[in-house]
Homo-oligomer: A and B are copies of this chain.
Amino acid sequence: MNKNYIIPNEWSIIEEGFNKDNVKSSESLFSIGNGALGQRANFEEDYSGPSFQGSYIGGIYYPDKTRVGWWKNGYPEYFAKVLNAPNWIGIQIKINKTNLDLNTCKIQNFKRELNMKEGWLSRSFNAVLATGEEIEVISKRIISIAHNEVGAIKYSVKAVNFSGEITFKPYLDAGIVNQDSNYDEYFWDILNIEKGTNEGCILAKTLKTNFYVGTAMSVSFSHNNKKVDLEQTTNVQEKKLTYSYNLKINQGDTVTIYKYASYVTSLNYKEEKLVKAGLKNVQQASELGFDILLQEQVNSWAAIWKTSDIKIEGDIKAQQGIRFNIFQLNQTYLGTDSRLNIGPKGFTGEKYGGSTYWDTEAYCIPFYMATKDASVAKNLLLYRYNQLDKAIENAEKLGFKNGAALYPMVTMNGEECHNEWEITFEEIHRNGAMIYGIYNYVNYTKDFEYIPKYGLEVMIGVARFWHQRANFSAAKNKYVILGVTGPNEYENNVNNNFYTNYLAKWCIEYAIESLQKIKTEYAQDYKRVLAKTNLTEEETKQWLQVADNMYFPYSEKNKVYLQQDGFLDKELIPVAELSVEDRPINQKWSWDRILRSCYIKQADVLQGMFFFEDQFSKEEIERHFDFYEPLTVHESSLSPCVHSILAASIDRIPKAYEQYVRTSRLDLDDYNHEVDEGCHITSMAGTWMSIVQGFGGMRVKNGLLSFNPQIPKKWKSYTFTINFRGNVINVYKSQNECKFSNESGNEMTILVDNEKIKIPSKQLITV
């Protein structure tokens, strides 16, 4: 049963009424972040009920000791996971010495709001303590985009029915452990707890990786809106710094605590400067004050929405869903730091250990390219470029030679962070996605120079991998790729996965094509890269031998490429004929049953047709869609978006809409019963694509932006904005109309339904 308690609203995620069962889910859904750091929506005050405390800093990870039942050669001994960082939000509240704990109080008028337009989280509620005192609490919290090491809280308590004493105990707690720790270890070493007057800082170091992190706070108070200075008591524990403040209040009084906090890390400062830097950050924040920080936050989000908002009229849940997706993507990654990337759970949880999957290249890059400056997508590509050495090392561990590169399935620092052999060693199609990301970026941005400067080395390492990974089958007189797992992870260790073989061939061809262009147009880079990689023309000929003679399983009878060798030996019973009790099969069936079944977790052959649409006829795509989609259970969050886009491309709008609904409110409606563990961040980019590339039909064709807008019956209209090579265009589609508005200073030529249309600067055109 889906939880479905979020109140529909165009711009906000809203929860009304307090339900303990929803606490952990809401902690995920109401998460806030600024691309550099983020946190789950835990309560500031104590909460003794089930909760998942989580606060994370981009780039700060820990190599946890691998846990596995049966060890296989090549598994990483340690692998990196996002680190649960010190808690800076904590404010213990006592009323006449009784602790405020929503798990034990009587709660009324509880409301929680995540305002996506302005980027803040708030709560308000009345609480009646067991001892009878009633208070009204209003809190608001931000993680600042403008000051991206800073967070701030405004927390007000009103004495509703009593006069007495109120105690505030703001604290920093560095004793937080990772929920996903394999051996329940604590990953931090506390170095220094710096106390002071109304401000303080804990300096800690991560074990093994030796990241230094300073967590600072500064607090101030107002009483009935007048600033007050309160006497402070200090308590230093092993891993925790607590200040305590008492105040006598009268019935009707409101006391507010402002808590400013900051994370500073050795990624950006020298170790010995961290305490000072942290304290400086909170002092500055305190001087600016909460209201100014909040206004800056509103401005930051206004700028983000300007180039990324999608408006849907006539379907408020769809509207809320798409904005939630765009909002969370921006909270996770803003693209200003090439050391960071996009984890599947962002800053909303810990699951999946490492941070970066092929999701980034296959799903996220299009979103960031179209809604931000090209430098953002470039930073995502550079992240991989900077990890090329590790990818080469990774391939060497698996027996490859001569600079062949295998990018890890999951990674934080370039090293593999996964340990199921069928995924880690065999789901090698991810290596092709690295190259597809480059292709997609260059195609969209026209920044070909990225290839000679950076991408080419990656392309060579990956081409070498495919060349070595394929082997010649005497029986087939072709090159084959044995023992792989495709994007459809409901098949393991299969031979000749169509998608993998296709990507392999394409990667080699694209590398060779690029080499030829660079040889003439970027001769210097050509020489430099060939020297660096020891690449010879003889070697590229060998690559081509493999690409030219790659085997693709094909059924003459069905006129479709087969997902892998032997696919037609399965019992091909459509998903629609499966009993309800059997779904989802990943929760109901044992793994062997899933593997030998025909059921497809997410697009596999169709993923190839999605990537390389131009290389297949519309009729071919239809035929493959009709063969594979009925066998697809969409049990990956990445499945529905691809099918939605493909369905739209072959004019199956009802099917596209069905799949769109599934992707857009996956977390808000908790389809998979696991949102308490965190949100599915990367698939959110797929939701965005479902509208822009799916219903909007956006493509880049011969260097021109191309559209083919269609609209689901249920919607009145939708609008989205695209940044294309520095120009911004706004697309509006209603049931009867289609309008394009050129927001930029230049004339733009676009294709609409394959017809060229010129739009003058700042003009709107109705098609």
**Which residues of A approach B to under 8 Å, CB–CB?**
66-70, 72-74, 397-399, 419-422, 425-426, 471-476, 480, 482-483, 492-495, 565-566, 568-572, 586-593, 595-596
Contact of A483 among B70, B74, B592 (CB under 8 A): B592
Which among B73, B569, B572, B587 is the interface contact of A73 at CB below 8 angstroms?
Answer: B587
Whether A473 contacts B420 by the Cβ 8 Å rule is no
| Cα distance, A422 to B593, chains bound together (Å) | 12
Whether A69 touches B419, Cβ cut-off 8 Å, given contacts A74-B591, A482-B596, is: yes
Expressed in whole angstroms, the minimum distance between the Cβ of A465 and any Cβ of chain B is 12
Q: Tell me how far the C-beta of A659 lies from the nearest C-beta in chain B, rounded to whole angstroms.
A: 26
Query: Given A566-B495, A569-B495, A420 and B591 touching (CB < 8 A)?
Result: no
| A591–B69 CB distance below 8 A | no
Whether B590 lies near A72 (C-beta < 8 A) is yes
Q: Is the CB of A568 within 8 A of B493?
A: no
Q: Does the CB pair B426–A592 fall under 8 Å?
A: yes
- Which one, B397, B421, B571, contacts A472 given CB within 8 A? B571
Contact: A568 with B474, CB < 8 Å? yes
**Per DSSP, are chain A's interface residues mostly helix, strand or loop, or mixed?**
loop
Which of B73, B480, B590 is in CB contact (< 8 Å) with A588?
A: B73
Distance, CA A701 to CA B335, complexed state (A): 77
Sample of 16 further A-B pairs with CB below 8 A, known A66-B69, A492-B493: A67-B69, A69-B420, A72-B591, A73-B591, A74-B590, A398-B590, A421-B592, A425-B590, A473-B568, A474-B572, A475-B569, A480-B569, A483-B592, A483-B596, A493-B595, A566-B566
Q: Which residues of B contact A568 (CB under 8 A)?
A: 473-475
Residue of chain B at shortest CB distance from A425 = B592
Q: How far is the CA of A426 from the CA of B592 in the complex (A)?
A: 7
Per assembly, the copies of the chain total 2
| A-B residue pairs, 7 tightest by C-beta | A74-B590, A425-B592, A483-B596, A475-B568, A482-B596, A473-B569, A72-B591
Given known pairs A72-B590, A586-B73, A590-B72, the reply for A566 and B569 (CB within 8 Å) is: no
Instruction: Supply 26 A–B pairs (Cβ within 8 Å), ascending by A.
Output: A67-B67, A69-B69, A73-B587, A73-B588, A73-B589, A73-B591, A74-B590, A74-B592, A397-B590, A398-B590, A399-B590, A421-B592, A425-B590, A425-B592, A426-B592, A471-B569, A471-B596, A473-B568, A473-B570, A474-B568, A482-B566, A482-B569, A492-B492, A493-B494, A493-B595, A565-B565
Contact between B480 and A591 (Cβ–Cβ < 8 Å)? no
Pick the most buried of A480, A493, A587: most chain B CB atoms within 10 A of its CB.
A493
Q: Which residues of B contact A472 (CB under 8 A)?
A: 571
Q: Which residue of B lies closest to A69 (CB)?
A: B68
Interface centre among A68, A397, A476, A482 (most CB of B within 10 A): A482
Contacts of A69 in B (CB 8 A): 66-69, 419-420
Quick one: closest B residue to A594, CB to CB?
B73
Provide the bound-state CA to CA distance between A421 and B68, in Å: 13
CA A589 – CA B591 in complex, angstroms?
26
Assembly CA distance A281 to B566 (angstroms): 64
Chain B residue with the shortest CB-CB distance to A426: B592
B591 near A425: Cβ-Cβ < 8 Å: yes
A70-B587 Cα distance, complex, nearest whole Å: 14
Do B73 and A590 have beta carbons less than 8 Å apart? yes
Q: Which of B473, B570, B588 contacts A482 (CB 8 A)?
A: B570
For the complex, what is the distance from the CA of A483 to the CA of B473, rounded to whole Å? 22
Q: Hey, which chain B residues are within 8 Å of A595, CB to CB?
A: 482-483, 493
- In angstroms, Cα B68 to Cα A66, docked, is 10
The answer for the CA separation of A425 and B593 in the assembled complex, in Å, is 9
Return chain B residues, CB-CB under 8 Å to A474.
568, 572
